[in-house]
Amino acid sequence: MRQQQKQRRRTARLFGSLLLVAAAGVSAVGAAPSPGAGSAAATPLGQVVPAPASVVAGGPAYEITSKTRIRVERDSKEAQRVADYLAGVLRPSTGYRLPITGQGGHDGIRLELSGKAKDLGDEGYRLVSGRGSLTITAHKAAGLFHGVQTLRQQLPAEVEKGSRQTGPWLVAGGTIEDSPRYGYRGAMLDVSRHFFGVDKVKRYIDELALYKVNKLHLHLSDDQGWRIAVDSWPKLATYGGSTQVGGGQGGYFTKAQYKEIVRYAASRYLEVIPEIDMPGHTNAALASYAELNCDGVAPPLYTGTNVGFSSLCVNKDRTYDFVDDVIRELAAITPGKYLHIGGDEAHSTSHEDYVTFMDKVQPIVAKYGKTVIGWHQLTGATPAKGALAQYWGLDGTSAAEKAQVAAAAQKGTGIVMSPADRLYLDMKYNKDTPLGLAWAGYVEVQRSYDWNPGSYLPGVPASAVRGVEAPLWSETLSTSAQVEYMAFPRLPGVAELGWSPEATHDWDTYKVRLAAQAPRWDALGIGYYKSAQVPWPAG
């Protein structure tokens, strides 16, 4: 109820000040530029992705100059870290020193954490831009960081470049007040079908952060590869991780590398959610240890793309020793709340065995202080208290399967929306897309964006929807360039579904804001699919 009240307040503010297209286009563009700004016009206030909850445009623009300082409270280490990040973005392209100072002052860029900003929640922020100063205020550091992402998008795209650009660096005048619709705004990267090393994962994290995504779901195990070191079962990584789809060399994260990813994600205010898929999708584990198989015989490593043929031996005690060890070690190096146990496509496991397995495994997750997430097939068993079910069905999924998910939601299970024919970023855009798959159909940019997570599944209360997640499976993807081509331009739309109020949801205005992101992607070196549905800038 409290969240609903907050949403109503945000919606009321939105309708009272929704100038994202009309007034922002007039007030911000027409605002008097600061001295020395010449004739350049600032990006209209609020013309960013995701759309802010409230925008009141007007007054003079703020200009970043060689005299600009970034001001934080002297004793605020969290604000200092966000300031360091912001300076790291701005210094190469502006060429300015942009010193960070704890000295008080009313000028420059000010990053403020305030106990009086509780109404903004843990991730919300307020951005006030005017002549001489730009202030971002938040209750928590995550909010400051998200406010910085908005600031980045209000600046010219050249701000993303790694060499000095000409400017001017204007931010339109006015006030943005913003907080997210959902607390869960995720993206999944499958490192099992093809392995992506630490640097590639970090690059994806930076791209997610720009659009205020706050969960990185890492799919760490599957039939084709086991990607995380487990000390008590070392062959999982060294043997089970030695290949990938098509027979490449594979790879795995050491615990130190995994911790490095977790730390890096945390510096961008993303929580890492590790997934160990079971009882199916386990051939890499079964090949590594014969004792995990019911017949005691290890199958060969697998490099194809079929699914549903593997299963842990549900009736063996040794299976649960294995699960306990893996979850214990993974939980110990995962500071976040959640641990994903998969549960999808367990076609080689009987329903009775599946229920038995989940009844035994979910308490193990709780024993090590984590909350269960599973694919929506988990609702065919009894989801643990507080568990989340990740729905990946289609518009055409059977009514019975949807009803099963709805029944669990009505009993308190939270739902994360990831419908495959909307949010799977590995689905082809159209028949000519050179990468990806099409088993869920073609997913163009408008289809990915133009739906409402809160009312998508019949019988699922809006209050049960915790958010959205965009999975990216890697059967056909092995490079960062391929990942980016499939993620962009759909990923920003998913982020907007998770962040922005429902009242802002409009394809015709969104596609214009989306198109304006293209120069930024060019500056960042992100290759993207130039959908004919989006009015990209000429040239």
Which residue numbers are catalytic? 345
DSSP-derived letter for residue 536 is P
> Does residue 340 contact residue 273 with C-beta atoms inside 8 Å?
yes
Residue 115, SS3 per DSSP: helix
Half-sphere exposure of 205 (CA within 13 A, CB side): 25
Rounded to 5°, angle at Cα 50 from 25 and 185:
170
Which residues, listed in sequence order, are joined to residue 274 by a DSSP beta bridge?
Answer: 218
- Spatial contact of 407 and 379, defined as CB atoms under 8 Å apart: yes
Instruction: Tell me the three state secondary structure of residue 154.
Output: helix
CA separation for the pair 297, 367 (Å, rounded): 31
Q: How far apart are CA 235 and CA 117, in angstroms?
A: 50
Q: Do residues 408 and 393 make contact, with C-beta atoms less than 8 angstroms apart? A: no
Indicate the SS3 state at residue 417.
strand
Among 458, 439, 462, 220, smallest CA distance to 339 is for 220
One-letter amino acid at 211 equals: Y
For residue 489, cis peptide bond before it (omega within 30 degrees of 0)? yes
